[in-house]
Structure 1
Amino acid sequence: MSAHVFLHLCHEVGTSLEVGTRRDIMDIINTLANQMRTNLMMTSGSRREGFRLVESDLDVMYWPNSYRVIWELYQSHYYNNLSKELILCDGSESRPGFTLLYLLSPRLYSELQRACVRMKNRHYISSSKHRQIKCSAESQRSTLHGPCVGRHHGMLGYDLAHCFASDIWPPSASSWIDRSHSWPPSHIVDDIVKRGCHFVAIGHKLEKHEQNEWRISFSLAEQKLVYAMNHFQFLTYGLLKLILNRIINNGLGDDDKLLCSYHMKTAVFWAIQQNIIPQWCPHNLLYSSLTCFKLILKWVYEGICPNFFIPSNNMFLSNIYGEAQNFLFIRLYELYKMGIQSMLETLSITSCNECIDFIRDPSISSCADEDVLFSEADFDIKLFREVDNQGSFSVSNVQKCIQFLHIIEQMIASPLTQNQDIMLQKLTNSVLQNLAFMLPLNTYTQENKLKYRADKISCHFLKFAAKFGCISDVLYLAMYYYKTFRYTEALAIIEVIKVKLSQPYVMHNFNVDEEMYTEAVGGQSWSTKMGQAVAWNIKLNNNILYISELRPEQQSSLQNDVPYLYIPPFVMLYMLEIFAANM
């Protein structure tokens, strides 16, 4: 039965190859973003970990590169005070996992000065003031959510946390280094420790300094630990998330949810490191999941959930106690008595007849080989969807575009996975397309040398993007020709694209005849497949004017905080054809 559920979880959560692809793409996006910014950033949350569930979230952490947090005064010698402004921890009155932060040498007119409060003759940075300042600087539709500012990027919601970084591992987490013998491997431990930690703007609810305290965040370390899991451990974590979201917390409001995904992840971390589960494999999947569930049940019964890095930090202390604790324990114990089979039948992953038949008839055999789950076309659909979803950068001007292209040029020379290679190819095309429409060209004339040169460069960029992009990318060139009054050239391109888009093997919006697709491009490189058999929606940055006819749609989208306008390729094709033919 475990092996059968393993296969269904590979469908729901992803195979090891799928998850690895998602992580590769998110990693290269993260690296690119940091190269483009003065301040540093890191994506975290379940999407960064490799999940693509309906409930999967994305967190983005930003921290100013000009500030660093230290634990002891002597550590100030590690830094050049001219380039870094130092912040000192003061955890003398805080619970484990929390601290106060104060500026060692506050600058009179710095933005951070506005977030400071005066205590003990020092300038302490108030977490609540810092949150409020950052939230007021965001969109009007932004809302405070714990230490984060809630935002939307198109259809995707995400939490934005403005924080501070320390290059030094917290002394209170030194015990984690000492007990990390069996897992994770020593090189991962070393990498985690040398990267330090972060501080997010939220205090402990039971502390008198709650409004001013900061929580120590191990988001980077946790991401590396999730990456260090084998796929069976990751699927166990995934199954626990499904049980949490679709059974335990189902129907509850946000304020009534006592358990969260972080507790599930913590249980899996402890189970792996303490060797509670003798063997992580498909046939042991239900046992490992039930073991972690029992660990959480034990924690709820005792009212103690030890943080994985700082065990003295009880993560249940502020919300799981008294009547709420009793209610949650009864709820979890009832689920435990019902058994894992009942939980599986409740989950959508067991809704298919094959799995239900298996549960009711153990004589049915099951193969635990994830390689049999997806065809080549299936995997390509998932890859290209991921690339398309991530394949744009919000670059606001020509200079940023040029900077972006220089960074990509440098990255191409570094070791890249095939997934990252195709991601950089898509990003390059996207920037070239945007850049072509941002160059200062209003009318087409041979007499104005500057405009002629800009036009020539724009055409070159769009032809290059079309050569290395997907089939529908040629429509950007047709759109540019229409914009610059070259209607005959636009119509000629449209006729060529019509033929290409009409081929029966072309993947339209991630739908395809798998047999014909495989026959046409099976076994080819992803770059070749993208250029010969893939068409995705035309994605227009609403801050760039492409053609005047689309201005109302773009302005309407911007008013609703929607950064991009998506147009199906055939819609764009026939729209341009009608416009150009009537000129």
Structure 2
Amino acid sequence: MMDSEESERMSFLLSRLLEKDIGTKEEVDIRRKTVLFKEQFDNANNENHSIFNTGSSAEGFALRGSDNDAMIVDKTIMTVNSKHQIPSDSKHDMVLLLRDANNCQHGHVELEIAVWRRCKQPLYKSFHPVGSRTFISSDIYREEHVKHALNLGFNVASHGPSSGADATGTNAAFDVVHAFHCPVWPKDAIEWKTRKRLYGWPTETVLIKIIEGGCHLVPIGDKCSDNTLLQWRISFAYAERLLVHSLSHSQFKVYGLLKIFLKNIKVRLEAISKEEEILSSYILKTVIFHAVENTPETFWKEKNTFTCFWFCFSILCAWVKAEYCPNYFIPKNNLFKRHIHGQNKTKLLQLLSEIHNMKWMCLSVGTYVKPSIMDILLNKSHQADLMQNQTLLQSEALL
């Protein structure tokens, strides 16, 4: 059992080690700027579509297996909340009207065609009449894009709202989501817009930028619903990328440690549920957002690295016990509703309780990192190297 002084010393070493694996603040900033520059370059002369990079790489990670996901946004499609918002001079190929989706969790909508001039085949094949009105089917739209990619020779499969390809010997895993942009902040997330924030995160500047950026609509329904044919999920990918980029480097490293930890227990999680991912990196992103919003920035110091990680882990454990993981933007949307209950919940709690009892030694679990984080931290030679790297960094900062 470590006393507070030893825990702070080990936390400092852990922070240094994470800096080696995740990168310095400068290195992470360069990765992000590279992604943003390429994104701007790719979108500069494209009138019909824009690319928005998502996933770990866009967040600034370069961990083994970091995904290179992207949304392809159809700029010829306009989405509005009411017919009164349709501009008389609109030159969009199609205008879609957002409608409340029935029999599903908050955070999903249906898309009714309000104006139609022209559209490409995947969208046209997705038309679904309901009485005198016509809607766009998310299920058909998604699968039409998968078929199109297969016809072009790409080895892809439907994965959530996206067309996904698994990692091979030469290529990293990637997911491509075909989405529509909604310029208006969704009414389901009004609470997030007006939420009282005791510690000023996100800042007013980031908050305004997020709200002005609106959201996206991706072709997947509520998996807990009996009929997903017309349901589209509201995606906050734009907001999430801004929020991750607004984290301090210490907070970002703890987020990285959570992702490494998830990879380390992946095999054991798969033993609990082979059919689907029982814990995802998105859940951990939700954890870090809630944790950062509800703590002062002074909490996130290098000497508290493990304490911050443990705080996040405790939030996760509490959510699993409650069978409720509140979506960060729409708390009424329970991200655990589908699969954290019954035997899945019991087995997951057993695993998390076992890890909780290990305290610091939980960093020795798994095979993703070899030697394990704890093995490195307890090695005197590695400790000396980590301290020396810190001394060099301090020296360079003084120049």
After TM superposition, the score normalised by the length of structure 2 is 0.86
Residues in 2 aligned to 1:49 and 1:215: alpha-carbon distance in whole angstroms: 22
Contact 2:14 2:377 in 1 (8 A): yes
Residue aligning to 2:305:
285
Contact 1:55–1:245 at 8 Å: present in 2 too? no
Which secondary structure does the structure 2 equivalent of 1:294 belong to?
helix
CA distance 1:335–1:277, shift in 2 (3 Å): farther
Tell me how far apart the structure 1 counterparts of residues 362 and 105 of structure 2 sit (CA, whole Å): 40
Superposed, 1:114-125 pairs within 5 Å as 114-125=125-136
1:301 CA displacement: 0.7
Partner of residue 195, structure 2: 179
Question: Which deviates more from structure 2 when the two are superposed, residues 1-10 or residues 255-264?
Answer: 255-264
Q: What is the alpha-carbon root mean square deviation over aligned residues?
A: 2.9
Q: Deviations over 1:72-112 (max 9, x none)?
A: 232224x7333352111111414201111111123476532
- Look up the SS of the partner of 1:36 in the other structure: coil
User: Matches of 2:331 and 2:374 in 1, distance apart?
Assistant: 41
Instruction: Say yes or no: does 1:170 pair with 2:186.
Output: yes
Alignment partner of 1:129 out of 140, 145, 161: 140
Residue 331 (structure 1) aligned to one of 347, 351, 373: 351
> Residues of 2 paired with 1:31 and 1:239: CA distance?
30
Find 2:53's aligned residue among 20, 24, 43: 43
1:23-42: per-residue Cα shift (whole Å, max 9, x none)? 01111001111113231110
Match among 160, 183, 200 for residue 176 of structure 2: 160
**Higher relative contact order (CA closer than 8 Å, sequence separation 6+):** 2
Using the TM superposition, give the Cα deviation of residue 212 of structure 1 relative to its aligned residue in structure 2, in angstroms.
2.2
Supply the distance in 1 between the matched residues of 2:245 and 2:119 (Cα, whole angstroms). Answer: 42
Structure 1 residue 343, shift from structure 2 partner: 2.2
Alpha-carbon deviation of 1:299?
0.6
Report if the CA contact (8 A) 2:365-2:372 is conserved.
Answer: yes
Using a 3 Å threshold, how does the CA distance of structure 1 residues 185 and 351 change in structure 2: closer, same or farther?
A: closer
2:250 and 2:300 in contact (8 A); partners too:
yes
Summarize the Cα distance change of 1:365–1:134 in structure 2 as closer, same or farther, 3 Å threshold: closer
Greater Cα radius of gyration, structure 1 or 2: 1
Q: Is residue 173–residue 309 contact of structure 1 (8 Å, CA) maintained in 2?
A: yes
Aligned equivalents of 2:42, 2:68: Cα separation in 1: 15
1:152-551 matches, cutoff 5 A: 155-179=171-195, 181=197, 182-249=200-267, 252=270, 255-275=275-295, 279-344=299-364, 346=366, 347-348=369-370, 350=372, 355-357=377-379, 367=387, 372=392
Rounded Cα–Cα distance in structure 1 between residues aligned with 2:55 and 2:294? 24
Q: 1-side partners of 2:233 and 2:101: how far apart? A: 14
- Please report how far the alpha carbon of residue 157 of structure 1 lies from its aligned counterpart in structure 2 after TM superposition: 2.6
1:277–1:288: 8 Å Cα contact kept in structure 2?
no
* One-letter amino acid of the structure 1 residue matched with residue 334 of structure 2: N
Q: 1:7 touches 1:368 (CA, 8 Å); kept in 2?
A: no
Q: In structure 2, what is the Cα distance between the partners aligned to 1:248 and 1:340?
A: 19
How far apart are residue 69 of structure 1 and its match?
1.4
- The CA distance in 2 between the partners of 1:130 and 1:124, in whole Å, is 11
Amino acid at match of 2:46: R
Conserved 8 A contact 1:47-1:57:
yes
3-state SS, counterpart of residue 105 of structure 1 = strand
Q: Deviations over 1:275-320 (max 9, x none)?
A: 1775111101000000000101111110110011111111111222
More helix by share: 1
2: CA distance between counterparts of 1:62 and 1:368?
Answer: 45
**Deviations along 1:469-507, whole A, 9 cap, x unmatched?**
xxxxxxxxxxxxxxxxxxxxxxxxxxxxxxxxxxxxxxx
Identical counterparts, % of pairs: 28
Amino acid at match of 1:231: H
Q: Which amino acid aligns with 2:162?
A: C
The counterpart of 1:149, out of the listed 159, 163, 170, is: 163
Letter in 1 for 2:311: T
Structure 2 unaligned segments of length 5 or more: list them: 1-9
In 2, Cα distance between the equivalents of 1:277 and 1:108? 51
Going from structure 1 to structure 2, the CA distance change for 1:178 and 1:37 (only over 3 Å counts) comes to: same
Distance across 2 between alignment mates of 1:368 and 1:121 = 72
CA distance in 1, matches of 2:263, 2:353: 17
Could you tell me which amino acid in structure 2 is paired with residue 157 of structure 1?
A
Q: CA deviation at 1:179?
A: 1.8
Change (3 A) 1:67 1:370: farther
Could you tell me how far apart the structure 2 residues matched to 1:268 and 1:180 are?
18
Structure 1 unaligned spans of 5+: 377-583
Residues in 2 aligned to 1:350 and 1:375: alpha-carbon distance in whole angstroms: 29
Instruction: Give the conservation status (yes or no) of the 8 Å contact 1:103–1:125.
Output: yes
1:345: Cα distance to partner?
6.2
Structure 1's 329 and 121: CA in aligned 2 closer, same or farther, altered over 3 A? farther
- Residues 372-419 of structure 1: per-residue CA shift (max 9 Å, x gap): 36999xxxxxxxxxxxxxxxxxxxxxxxxxxxxxxxxxxxxxxxxxxx
Q: Does 1:101 align with 2:88?
A: no
Report the Cα offset of residue 142 of structure 1: 1.7
After TM superposition, the score normalised by the length of structure 1 is 0.60
Deviation at 1:13, TM superposition (A): 1.2
Structure 2 CA distance for aligned equivalents of residues 40 and 197 of structure 1: 14
